Amino acid sequence: MKLLITAGPTREPIDPVRYLTNRSSGKMGYALVEAALEAGHEVVLVSGPVNLTAPKAATTVQVETAVEMYEAVAREIGSCDTAIFCAAVADYRVDGIEASKIKKTEDELILKLIKNPDILGSARSEFGFSGVLVGFAAETDDVLAHAQEKMERKGCDLLVANDVSRRDIGFDREENEVTLLFRSGESQVLSLASKKRIGREILQVVENLRDQRKP
Ligand code: C5P
């Protein structure tokens, strides 16, 4: 397989020294990259800013903003047969980034935010991607219902749901527990384990989906 994997947060500048971002260490995405390389696949990693070293064997494109991530994915996805969107992309960016540092002279600072492109949501419709498509969903409430809706809306073959209201798993942790949702309506829990292990398990499921598609 040749996989495109997005990982980490995006960073949306407010001025030259400040930005908006999402909580994401990139550990889950990088674990998927390692698992895919170990299994002998080719990987294009599109990574937001993280404190992790990208494996040398992957082709890595470093980006900062959601728009940059969108452009990198648009460029790379055509050469891949599988895409895993693990990045925590900022839904909004600042409209009118200040060229100079904003001074704290006022009591209030009002930022106008505009919507970022939905990269996963563009895979089928904009990029014409017909390979195996995997999304992630970090939810705090009604985790499975939201994840199921997202899978259908974005045309995914598999959606990995993360309950981020739990403190023992998810953000910045070494461990994770996720529920896999399939198009058939079936689901599978991958119980508490290291992100590395969860990455390997997800990759095996993705390999099976890929094999089922082969003529
Ligand atoms: O809609 P939501 O952001 O919760 O969907 C999460 C999934 O969509 C993740 O797989 C994430 O990587 C992807 N996503 C994206 N571009 C966005 C927002 C989310 O690719 N602008």
pLDDT at 215: 64
Six-digit token pair at 46?
A: 């599109």
CA pair distance 36, 32, nearest whole angstrom: 6
CA pair distance 179, 204, nearest whole angstrom: 15
Decide: 61 in ligand 1 pocket, CB within 6 A.
no
pLDDT digits (tens, 9 = 90+) for 26-57: 999 999 999 999 999 999 999 999 999 999 99
Decide: 181 in ligand 1 pocket, CB within 6 A.
no
The gap from C-alpha 122 to its chain's centroid, in whole angstroms, comes to: 13
Extents of the domains making up the chain: 2-213
pLDDT at 196: 94
Residues 6+ apart with CB under 8 A from 167: none
pLDDT at 116: 98
Q: How far is CA 36 from CA 5, 22, 122, 190, in A?
A: 10, 25, 24, 18
pLDDT at 27: 94
**For ligand 1, mutation pick of 47, 85, 150, 160 (most atoms within 8 Å of CB):** 85
Nearest partner of 77 among 12, 134, 11, 27, judged by Cα: 134
Amino acid (one-letter) located at 212: Q
Instruction: Specify the residue with its C-alpha closest to ligand 1, atom 1.
Output: 150
Decide: 135 in ligand 1 pocket, CB within 6 A.
yes
User: Which is the closest atom of ligand 1 to the Cα of 116?
Assistant: 21
> Which is the CATH superfamily of the domain at 2-213?
CoaB-like (3.40.50.10300)
Active site residue 22: yes
pLDDT at 170: 65
**For ligand 1, mutation pick of 119, 139, 148 (most atoms within 8 Å of CB):** 119
Instruction: Specify the residue with its C-alpha closest to ligand 1, atom 5.
Output: 137
Cα 172 to ligand 1 centroid, rounded to whole Å: 18
This prediction has a pTM of: 0.95
**Beta strand ranges found along the chain (DSSP E):** 2-7, 11-15, 18-21, 42-47, 59-62, 82-85, 92-94, 113-115, 132-139, 158-163, 175-182, 187-194
Classify residue 17 as left (phi > 0), alpha (psi -120 to 50) or beta. Answer: alpha
Which run of H or E residues covers position 46? strand 42-47
Cα 120 to ligand 1 centroid, rounded to whole Å: 6
Residue carrying structure tokens 């996805």: 77
pLDDT at 140: 83
Q: At 40, is the secondary structure helix, strand, or coil?
A: coil
**For ligand 1, mutation pick of 71, 89, 92, 146 (most atoms within 8 Å of CB):** 89
CA pair distance 213, 209, nearest whole angstrom: 7
User: Is 73:66 a contact under the CB 8 Å cutoff?
Assistant: no
Question: What residues in the chain have per-residue pLDDT under 50?
Answer: none
CA pair distance 175, 163, nearest whole angstrom: 12
pLDDT at 174: 82
Choose the catalytic residue: 22, 116, 162, 176. Answer: 22
Decide: 116 in ligand 1 pocket, CB within 6 A.
yes
Residue carrying structure tokens 């749901």: 161
Residues 6+ apart with CB under 8 A from 34: 55, 196, 199
